[in-house]
Structure 1
Amino acid sequence: MESSTLIIVLSLSVLISYAFDLFSSRFKTPSILLLLVLGMLVRQATDYFGVQVPYVNTILPTLGTLGLILIVLEGGLDLELHAEKLSVLRRTLLASLLSIVGATLVMAGILYLLLNDSFFHCLIAALPFSIISGAMAVPGVSGLTSGQREFVVYESAFASILGVLAYNFLLLSESSIWSAIWFFTRDTLIMAVTSAVCCFLLLYLIGRINHRIKFLPIISVLFLVYAIAEIYHLSSLLLILIFGLFLNNTELFIRGRLSEILKNDLFEKELDQLKSLTAEGAFVVRTFFFLLFGYSTVPQELIDTDALIVSGLFIVVILVWRWLTLRLTYPGVWRPLLWIAPRGLITILLYLNTPENLRLLGFREGIPMLVVILSALVMMGGALGKTTEVSEPQRL
């Protein structure tokens, strides 16, 4: 492919994704769903003209990891750890924990009954489907109250972290649960200390770098530390979350003389620039990830009877368990939040990164795509229903 053609394709992809985003906010249609459909249509067109996109299966996990880092960083930069937020933090943390533990156990039980493989393999296969996608959920609550939006933002941020930590713990526990507890605790503590050191160092650099290129090197350092930690199987996502929380809540950690050393007068403005850069970077990475994932999907896998049955059962479990969780954790009007339970990038990424020796025998390849599509359609239906409820009194 010529360089000019490649530039045209990449530019058009971003512009189309941006148009989908605008369309999504107006017509309550998840933009990620439109990207998946576009990717599948592009696959049909390239097959028709005999064009092959190379290295798709190699690029997908890398894009997914970059997107996960940016999404978690974006979520951390949105979380405020003030005293008045403690109640929301407790409720959303509990909601995320209940959702991941409960939904994983129920879905693993279904897989165990259907496929009769080891329950451990069923747990690993089910866990990715218990994690709500912030990239899809947060735009879907734009029409709800501020309290409902805040609940979803915090819940999805916690779910990303807890889900990945739980997944890493399961991988460690393959041989022994006690050794897994020891290694997991040790690695988490090491990562927490490393994260604290990196936070102070990076904050110092933010205040001292006068070059017009400031945040890209800092984000690159985060990527570098994350990748090194991943090689040694450390809880590297903690670094990203802690860094985001640290920057957005520096008044809790940096006080007195230390504040004069580490922060400058332009810090708040620079923080807004970092948030903007992170959001736009996550948007670009997410665009190409879902386009390529749609492109890599085999249409026949989406009409497989077994895949459709399992995906439908997963959606029922997700909604029923969400109903129970909201009844326990959300004190206000929870019904509009019932339908906000989409699965997205983290679900797909964890599924793709599952080691071959731990994959569930008989698990259909089309299930992740079907669950993402069906959960997005459920969210869209809930949003349209909410719009109808709001508009009906106005007509009367």
Structure 2
Amino acid sequence: MNVHVSILFASAILLVAFAIERAGRHYRIPPVILLIAAGMLTKPLLHVAGWTLAGLDMVVPIIGTIGLVLIVLEGSLDISLSRERLYSARAAMWMAWLGFLACFVVLTPLIELYFAFGYFKAAVIAVPFALISSAVAIPNSQFLPAHGREFVVYESALSDIIGVIVFFALVHSDGSFLGIVQGLLGGGLVSLVLSVICAIGLALILMHSRGPIRFLPLLAGLLGLYAAGKLLYLSPLIMVLLFGLTINNPLLITRVPLFEHWMSDHYDTTLNEFKAIAFELTFAVRGFFFILLGYWTDLGTLAMPKAWFGALVVLFIIYLSRAALLRSFGGSLAPSLLWLAPRGLITVLLYLTARMVVPVPEWVGGSVLIVVIVSALLILVAQRRHEMPPFKAPLPAAPGAPAEDSR
């Protein structure tokens, strides 16, 4: 494929992603499903034209990683911190921890028994299925009220962070229990401390920045720090989340006497411009990733009975454990939140890494994609449940009141 055809193809992807995004919002269909389907349809069309896309083994993970950073940033930029919202944040954090732990604890021994793996290898494969994908959950939570969207942002972002910390503690350990615990404690604490420092530093730069070129260097610094954190086996998604929360809630910094005059007079305008660029880039990267993922998928794996059996077992465990936990943490939104537990971008990225560590049959990749698609489709159930008016039983007639004529 020559240069001009490549440019034409990239432009077409963006335009198709934009059309799908609009159609998804209009018809209330999670765009991720339509994007993957578009990618699947693209493959035979390009084959007829005699074109193929090469190098996707490298391109898809890179685009997916950038998309993950931008999506968590986008979600955190929508959160305004206040004392009134602390309960929602605390409940979401407990939900993320316990939801991940429940899926992980149940799936790991099942995988160990089925594949005759050791416990360590089974745990590596279980992690990608145990976490919620913020890349899918956050954009598709817009039908919820403000406190519901905040719950989804906190829960999905923290679920991603927990999953990444646990996954790389497993992958980079020696397989022993002590090695895994050291990786969890070291990676978690160091990640938190460094993330706070880096997030505050980046926020101060944005608050004090002036001139026409401000945002792309800042985003480049954010992505660079994220990549550096990954190379050190840390979890820099914490930094991304804290950075978004800090710049959207500048009082967290300006209350400190040293920085009380640091914020420029035009900060509100600067913040709105930064949000606009971040949202545009997030849309572009998300569209590229899911369309290329659909193109990259081997459709034959989706037709394998084992792939469907494995996916259905995983989905059953996900939603059964979630239903039990939401009784304690979901509040009035529990019926809608039950079906808002999609697997997506981060699930695919971690599975691609896990596949290099633990050899698994080809059909497992089909199970991953089926779980991603079905869990995204179930968001439609969440939307319908949220729109349904609450059932109100008829009040009993007062004593002595005439009975209502049933004719």
The answer to whether the superposition gives a TM-score over 0.5 is yes
Matches within 5 A, 1:80-99: 80-99=80-99
Distance 1:148 1:75, change over 3 A: closer
CA shift digits 1:88-147 (9 cap, x unpaired): 111000001111110122222332232221222122112111222233223433333443
> CA shift at 1:43, angstroms?
0.9
Name 1:36's counterpart in structure 2: 36
Q: Please give the secondary structure, in 2, of the residue aligned with 1:354.
A: helix
Name 2:161's counterpart in structure 1: 161
1:345 correspondence with 2:345: yes
Identity %: 31
CA shift digits 1:290-327 (9 cap, x unpaired): 11110111111001010010001111111111101111
Q: Please give the secondary structure, in 2, of the residue aligned with 1:47.
A: helix
Matches within 5 A, 1:236-275: 236-255=236-255, 257-275=257-275
1:234 correspondence with 2:230: no
The AA in structure 1 aligned to 2:143 is G
Distance 1:385 1:352, change over 3 A: same
Name 2:203's counterpart in structure 1: 203
Q: Please give the secondary structure, in 1, of the residue aligned with 2:233.
A: coil
| C-alpha contact (below 8 Å) 2:109/2:122 kept by paired residues | yes
> CA shift at 1:233, angstroms?
1.6
Q: Please give the secondary structure, in 2, of the residue aligned with 1:197.
A: helix
| C-alpha contact (below 8 Å) 1:342/1:372 kept by paired residues | yes
CA shift digits 1:200-220 (9 cap, x unpaired): 432333244322010110110
Q: Please give the secondary structure, in 2, of the residue aligned with 1:158.
A: helix
Give the aligned CA root-mean-square deviation in angstroms: 2.4
| C-alpha contact (below 8 Å) 1:117/1:360 kept by paired residues | no
| Greater relative contact order (CA < 8 Å, ≥ 6 in sequence) | 1
The AA in structure 2 aligned to 1:179 is G
Distance 1:324 1:293, change over 3 A: same
| C-alpha contact (below 8 Å) 1:28/1:140 kept by paired residues | no
Name 1:294's counterpart in structure 2: 294
> CA shift at 1:360, angstroms?
4.3
| C-alpha contact (below 8 Å) 2:301/2:363 kept by paired residues | no
Distance 1:386 1:106, change over 3 A: same
Name 1:279's counterpart in structure 2: 279
Distance 1:200 1:99, change over 3 A: closer
Give the TM-score normalised by structure 2. Answer: 0.89
> CA shift at 1:180, angstroms?
3.5
Distance 1:391 1:8, change over 3 A: farther
Q: Aligned partners of 2:75, 2:140: CA distance in 1, in Å?
A: 15
Structure 2 unmatched runs, 5+: 393-407
Moved more, 357-366 or 45-54: 357-366
| C-alpha contact (below 8 Å) 1:96/1:159 kept by paired residues | yes
Distance 1:163 1:78, change over 3 A: farther
Moved more, 121-130 or 182-191: 182-191
1:310 correspondence with 2:310: yes
Distance 1:83 1:33, change over 3 A: same
Q: Aligned partners of 1:105, 1:13: CA distance in 2, in Å?
A: 39
1:192 correspondence with 2:192: yes
Distance 1:209 1:249, change over 3 A: closer
| C-alpha contact (below 8 Å) 1:28/1:384 kept by paired residues | no
CA shift digits 1:32-62 (9 cap, x unpaired): 1111011111111222333210101110111
Distance 1:43 1:392, change over 3 A: farther
Name 2:76's counterpart in structure 1: 76
Moved more, 78-87 or 182-191: 182-191
Distance 1:391 1:334, change over 3 A: closer
Q: Please give the secondary structure, in 2, of the residue aligned with 1:343.
A: coil
Q: Aligned partners of 2:339, 2:34: CA distance in 1, in Å?
A: 19
Q: Aligned partners of 1:130, 1:103: CA distance in 2, in Å?
A: 5
The AA in structure 2 aligned to 1:3 is V
Moved more, 85-94 or 265-274: 265-274
Name 1:51's counterpart in structure 2: 51
Moved more, 187-196 or 89-98: 187-196
| C-alpha contact (below 8 Å) 2:173/2:183 kept by paired residues | no
Name 1:23's counterpart in structure 2: 23
